Amino acid sequence: MTTAEDILLTSSAPPQPPRNRVGDVLAGRYELLEAIGRGGSATVFRARDRRLGRNVALKLAYPSDAKQRARLIREARIGAQLNHPSLMPVLDHGIEGRCVYIVMPFIMGPTLRARVNASRLPWQTAGMYVHQLLVALAVLHGAGVIHRDVKSENCLLSHDLTGDRLILADFGLARVDRSVLVGLPGHQTSQVIASIGYMAPERLDTQGDARVDVYSAGVVLFEALTRKLPFRGEQADVLWQHAEKPPPAPSAFAPVPRVFDELVATAMAKDPRDRFQTVGEFDAALLSVLDVREVEARPTVGVAQVVRALSAWEACDVSRALFEARQAEVCDRRWASFRELLEVVWSAEQRGE
């Protein structure tokens, strides 16, 4: 059966002129109230969900070709399937005429970039924001997803009773390396698309692996500490610096402990083999500098195994889920209760209950 999405993805007709006007109502439900952000091909609106009576963030685009349309639909499906407090969820998405829209929660707080631009952050605060970013990336990588567009503008800050919480958004350039998520192919476009200021040097020649996100997170750490990007200038010059120049030391630009110089240098090493090999490894090194107590410091440890266990459980592969749960407990004993729960399920299955 041909769906509206199938028609849109295969259509080659020129796009209609964008409406993108305050007051428009999409799908008879979402009333556009004000534009709150603009990207390369999309505009984000604060909108009113008339059906549920709440404000939402609505990303609206008129893609110019099938690849752009596919990226938007892919972004919606990734966000809809990943459930974690540090990842932006997708509430709805749809197609109206030539328009593709994605509906997300409306976050009152600023982006990390806006927060950094407003005033210098204490290095402890900057480090904790990047810690939360690395937690989000650990969940993504555990699900087989590489973000590939990590930057401070894609990090939203939500304030609740526990303080500011970083939420990673925008999965439009994400690459799925394993078919863990339902209905998504293993790869995306081969195009080199990224924010130049944050892009790992190998992205010029290859798609890279999860270590491209490690590199970009290192750039975000430098920016959060210094209020500057490590490499600046014309596009060609910035690309050359990423490929050839070591990152400057954050301590040369801000009053931060010199150990951050080593953290940034390792995260942004030119050769991926010289970087932190996982975001969990990066996070462990960062948390040792922040001196956060162990009981609350290492949520990235074991997360990848737990994500795989939950995916296997949803696929009714309880033995595989139990194996991953045991691996998670090896990483961190706090996952023992999760492993015990799966053992009960596995035992019941073996008895045919």
d(CA 134, CA 152): 13
Q: Which two tokens stand for residue 325?
A: 């749960």
CA 6 to chain CA mean position, Å: 26
d(CA 186, CA 222): 32
Contact assessment for residue 178 and residue 209, using Cβ atoms and an 8 Å cutoff: no
161-178 residues labelled b (16+ CB within 10 A) or e (exposed): eeebbbbbbbbbbbbbee
d(CA 59, CA 72): 9
CB atoms within 10 A of CB 318: 19
Long-range own/partner contacts, residues 324-331 (CB < 8 A, 24 or more apart): 327/302, 328/302, 328/303, 329/302, 331/301, 331/302, 331/305
Catalytic residue among 6, 24, 149, 177: 149
Which residue carries 């009152």 as its tokens? 108
Query: Is-catalytic flag, 149?
Result: yes
Phi then psi for residue 168, to 5 deg, are -85, 130
Handedness of CA 277, 279, 280, 283 (dihedral sign): positive
Angle in degrees, CA 291, 297, 298, rounded to 5: 130
d(CA 321, CA 315): 9
- Find residue 155's DSSP bridge partners: 168
Q: Which residues are catalytic?
A: 149
